[in-house]
Amino acid sequence: AKIGIWSDDAKDHVRSIKWFLEDSNKFLTENRGKVFDAVIEHVRDGATVRAFLLPDFYYVTVNISGIRCPPFQNDDGDGDQLGREATFFVETRLLQQNVKIILESSMNNQALIGSVLHEKGNISELLLRNGYAKFIDLSTRYSSVNVDALKSAEAHAKANKLGVWKNYVPAASAIPDKDKSISGIVMEICNGADSILIKLDDGSMKKVFFSSIRLPKVLVPKQEDEIENAKNGRILMLYNNPRLWDAREYLRKKLGRKRVQVVVDYIQESRNNMQQKLFGTVMLNNEYVTEQLVAKGLATVVRHKQDDEMKSSRYTDLLAAEKKAEKNQVGIFSKRLPEPNKIVDISNAQIAKKHLSSMIRAGKIQVLVDFVASGSRLRVFWPKERKLFNFLLAGIKCPRTGIRNGNLANGSQQPVISSEPFAEEALQYVREKCIQREVTIKIENIDKVGNFIGWMWVDNINLSIGLVEAGYAENFSDHSEFGKEIQSAEENAKKQKLHRWANYVEPVKEVKNFNDFVPVRKIKYEEAVVIGITAEAHIYVQLLKERVDLEELSVEVQELVGNSIDSSSNPTFKRGQLCAAKFSHDDKWYRARIEKILGSKAQVFYIDYGNREEVELNRLAVLPESLTDIKPFAHEYVLACVKLPSSPDYQNECLTILADRLISNKFLINIEYKEQNLFSCTLADIKTKEDEIEKLIEEGVLLVNTNTWKREMSEIVEKYEKAEESARKNRRLIWEYGDIRDDDVKEFGRIR
C-alpha cells in the first residue's frame, strides 16, 4: 500500500525542527502578540512548558505569564509537594494537547513569556483558582489575557484557603467593602505631589496618598544664583526641583476643585508617631490619574515584594505606563536635565523693601497661593516674575492661630500657644477659598519684617470683605481703600451674630454733657524732612520711609525718559499735565506738573520735591505711562491750629524764619485732622519730641488760629495759647508794637 514509512515520498514528511533559537529577542520582536498553534511536549513545572510552535516546529520554552508556581525539582529531590501537584495539574490538561500560545515578552535570561490557551480555558486562571499559583504583576504588563480575571481567580483561592493559600491570613489593614471607595472634591495637592486632600460630601477632609508610585526626589545641581537666593531666604524643595514642580502643577491643574473617585487600595497603620495613611487609586472622569502621571514621566512605580498585598489595584497598568514613559524618554527618563526653576524668595525684610515700589507699580497681579498660615497671612508665588513672598490681607484683623511644636503619641501636634477664638475656622475658610488657586492681588505696603500688605480677590470677591462678612475678622482701618465696604460687612455680620459676633452686644453710648466729652487725640509719628514752604505757610515734606523708593524712582525716570526722547517729535503740553522736566540746577529729569504755559516757557511744580520753577518748553518731555500712576513723594500739609499774621511785612519775615528753621531738617510729623482737602499736622523734634510749632509761636513767628481746630486738639490749642501769651508779654517779633490781633477785627477790615 506504500503508506506511512513505506510511502515513496516519506522523505518529504520529515520535520525540520528548530531545537534552539539563535536570537530569542529578535524572534520575540517579530512575533510579539502573534497567536501560534502549538503542541505541549513537556511540562517542566506548573508555570513553565516546552512546546512546538507550528507550522515551523520551533521548539521553545515558555513561561506562562501572570503566575508563579511553587518550586519543583524532581521525584527524588526535596521539591515542594504543591509544586508536584501543580505540575501534574498542568500535565493532565495540556501535555500532548493542541493549544494556542501567544508570545508577549521575555525575561532577562531571554526566556520567552506568553499565554497558553486551551479550547476549554486559560490554564493560568485555573492554576490560580485552585491555589496552585500566585499572581505576578511584572509579567502581565504585555499580557493578552484578562488580568482582572487572574486577580479574581487568586482572590477565590485566598478566600477558600486553597493550595499555597492554606495558611493565608488577610492583612490587618483589610478594608470593609463599604469603605473601599470614596468620592469628593480635591482641595489641595499635598507634600509636593504624593497625596491629595479631599473634601467629602459631609464636609470632612480626608487625605489620600497615591498607591505604588514615587515622586522624583533627585534635585538638579544648584546654580550660582540659586545659592545666592538660599543665603537671602528659603528656597523650598518643591520650587528647587523642576520634576517635582511639574508633577505638582500637572495634578493641581488637572484635579484642583474637581470631583474625583478614589478606590481605596490599602491602609498603612500608624507607626513611629506617624499617623495612619490611606492609599488609593484616583479617578477623574473614568481616567486613572496616577497612570497618566507615570506615563508622562513625572513619577516612577514602586517595586513591591511579590507577596506584598499593599499595592495599587492598578499595579500592572502602572508598570505598563512606566514602560511607555521609559520608551518615549519623557520626564524622569529624559536624557536631558530639566531647566532649573529660578525662584527669587523675597520674604526677607531688606529684599522685600527693594521690590516694593516695582510691585506697587505693577497694580493687580496674578499669583498662586502656595500656603495659608492664618486667616490673613499667606505665602504666594508670582509666576510671571518667579517671586515667592509672604502676603497679609489689608484692612482687617484676624484672630491669631496657635503656635505648634512637638508631637503627641497619636501623631498630632501639641500647641504651645493656643489659637484665639475662631482662628482655626478663619484659617479653614481661607484655605478652602484659595489654597493652590490662581488669585489676583494688589500690593500697597510692607510691614517691618518684610510681609507685603494688600488686597486679594478670589473669583472677583475681595477676601478681606469676605472674611469680615462671614464673621471671622473685624474691620481694622476705616481709611483703607475698601474701608466702607468692610465696615458695612462687619455691621451685617454683627446683626446676624455670625461666629465671633455670636455674643456681641451693641455698646450703649452715654454722653450726658457733650461739652464734657473730648475726643482722644491720636498720635502716630512718622519721620519726615521738610523740603518746601508755600506763601500760605503750608509745608511740603518727604517721608523718610519712602526715601529708598524715591531714589529708585529717580534712577528709573532718568533711564526711561532719556531713552524715550525722540528729537524728531514735537509734543504739545497743556496746563495740569504730568510730564518730565529737566531741573535747571543739575540738568536731570524729574516728574513735574505744568501749572502755567507762558509762551515758550512753562511754570512747573516738581511733585516729588515740592519746588517750582520756570523752564523752557524744550526742557519738557512726555512722562512714560508706567511712571504716571505713582503717587507724588512730596506731601503738602497745613500747620495745625496756627496762621501767619495778616501784615505783609510780617508775613515775609515770618516765612523767612520758617524756611530757615524747617527746610532740610528732620522732624516727627503727626497728622491731626483734615480740612479743605488738606491734612493738618504738628511737628516735633526728632530726638526730644518737643513741639516745634509751640516754639515758633513763643518766638512770635506764628499766631494761634482758633477758627480751624478740632475738639480733640483742645489740649494742643491751650498749650499754644500759653506760648502766644508769653510772646505777646515779651513783645517778640510780631508783638513788638503790642497786640496785633486788633488788626484782624472785622469792624476795621483786614490789612491787605
Q: Which of 160-164, 269-273, 453-457, 618-622 has the lowest mean pLDDT?
A: 269-273
Q: Is the distance from CB of 500 to CB of 470 less than 8 angstroms?
A: no
Q: Is the distance from CB of 330 to CB of 297 less than 8 angstroms?
A: yes
Per-residue b/e over 420-449, b at no fewer than 16 CB within 10 Å?
eebbebbbebbbebbbbbebbbbbeebeee
Q: Smallest Cα–Cα separation from 641: which of 701, 716, 691, 692?
A: 716
Which CATH number describes the domain made up of 177-333? 2.40.50.90
738 DSSP assignment? S
Q: Is the distance from CB of 623 to CB of 571 less than 8 angstroms?
A: no
Domain 344-501 classified CATH 2.40.50.90?
yes
What secondary structure does DSSP assign to 547-576, as a single string?
Answer: HHHHHHHHHHHHHHHHHH--TT------TT
User: Considering Cα of 461, then 465, then 468, then 471, what sign does the dihedral take?
Assistant: negative
Mean pLDDT throughout 60-66?
A: 90
Separation between Cα atoms, residue 694 and residue 376, nearest integer Å: 42
Q: At 51, phi and psi to the nearest 5?
A: -150, 155
Mean pLDDT of all residues in the chain? 85
pLDDT single digits (tens) 448-485: 889 999 999 999 999 999 999 999 999 887 667 788 89
Is the model's pLDDT at 193 over the cut of 90? no
Q: Is the distance from CB of 82 to CB of 132 less than 8 angstroms?
A: yes
Separation between Cα atoms, residue 567 and residue 589, nearest integer Å: 16
Q: Smallest Cα–Cα separation from 27: which of 100, 109, 98, 110?
A: 110
How many C-beta atoms surround the C-beta of residue 592 within 10 A? 28
Same fold, 344-501 and 635-742: yes
Strand partners, 539: 533, 637
Q: Is the distance from CB of 194 to CB of 162 less than 8 angstroms?
A: no
Q: Quickly state the pLDDT bin for 174 (edges 50, 70, 90).
A: low
Mean pLDDT throughout 315-340?
A: 89
Q: Which of 74-78, 308-312, 589-593, 701-705 has the lowest mean pLDDT?
A: 74-78
Q: Is the peptide bond before 55 cis (omega within 30 degrees of 0)?
A: yes
Q: What is the percentage of the chain residues whose pLDDT exceeds 70?
A: 88
Is the model's pLDDT at 5 over the cut of 80? no
SS3 at position 340: coil
Q: Smallest Cα–Cα separation from 137: which of 63, 66, 213?
A: 66
Which CATH number describes the domain made up of 635-742? 2.40.50.90
Q: What is the pLDDT of residue 746?
A: 41
Which CATH number describes the domain made up of 543-632? 2.30.30.140
CA angle 599, 601, 607 (to 5 degrees): 135
How many C-beta atoms surround the C-beta of residue 494 within 10 A? 16
Q: Smallest Cα–Cα separation from 66: which of 115, 4, 110?
A: 115
Question: Which H helix or E strand runs over 315?
Answer: helix 315-328
Highest mean pLDDT (candidates 14-23, 76-85, 161-170, 258-267): 258-267
Q: At 285, phi and psi to the nearest 5?
A: 55, 45
What secondary structure does DSSP assign to 594-640, as a single string?
Answer: EEEEETTEEEEEETTTTEEEEEEGGGEEEPPGGGTSSPPS-EEEEET
Q: Quickly state the pLDDT bin for 749 (edges 50, 70, 90).
A: very low
Separation between Cα atoms, residue 125 and residue 153, nearest integer Å: 6
Q: Which of 478-487, 663-672, 687-696 has the lowest mean pLDDT?
A: 478-487
Separation between Cα atoms, residue 247 and residue 210, nearest integer Å: 13
Mean pLDDT throughout 704-732?
A: 84
Q: At 456, phi and psi to the nearest 5?
A: -130, 135
pLDDT single digits (tens) 251-282: 999 999 999 999 999 888 877 767 888 999 99
Is the model's pLDDT at 78 over the cut of 80? no
Q: What is the pLDDT of residue 109?
A: 64
Q: Which of 101-115, 247-261, 449-463, 536-550 has the lowest mean pLDDT?
A: 101-115
Rounded CA Rg of the chain: 42
Task: Assign 3-state DSSP to the chain and report helix, strand, coil percentages, each to 5.
Answer: 30, 30, 40
pTM for the complete prediction? 0.57
Residue ranges of domains in the chain:
4-165, 177-333, 344-501, 543-632, 635-742
Mean pLDDT throughout 530-548?
A: 92
How far is residue 643 from each of residues 531, 654, 741, measured CA to CA in Å?
19, 10, 12
Q: Quickly state the pLDDT bin for 509 (edges 50, 70, 90).
A: low
Which CATH number describes the domain made up of 4-165? 2.40.50.90
Q: Quickly state the pLDDT bin for 415 (edges 50, 70, 90).
A: very low
Per-residue b/e over 636-651, b at no fewer than 16 CB within 10 Å?
ebbbbbbbbbbbeebb
Q: How far apart are the first and last CA of the chain?
A: 153
382 DSSP assignment? E
Q: Is the distance from CB of 390 to CB of 452 less than 8 angstroms?
A: yes
Q: Which of 15-19, 113-117, 138-142, 673-677 has the lowest mean pLDDT?
A: 138-142
Mean pLDDT throughout 200-209?
A: 92
Q: What is the pLDDT of residue 237?
A: 66
Separation between Cα atoms, residue 189 and residue 252, nearest integer Å: 6
Q: What is the pLDDT of residue 747?
A: 37
Q: Which of 84-93, 220-229, 384-393, 442-451 has the lowest mean pLDDT?
A: 220-229
Mean pLDDT throughout 185-195?
A: 89
Is the model's pLDDT at 228 over the cut of 50? no
- Considering only residues 217 and 96, tell me which one the structure prediction assigns the higher pLDDT: 96
Q: Quickly state the pLDDT bin for 220 (edges 50, 70, 90).
A: very low
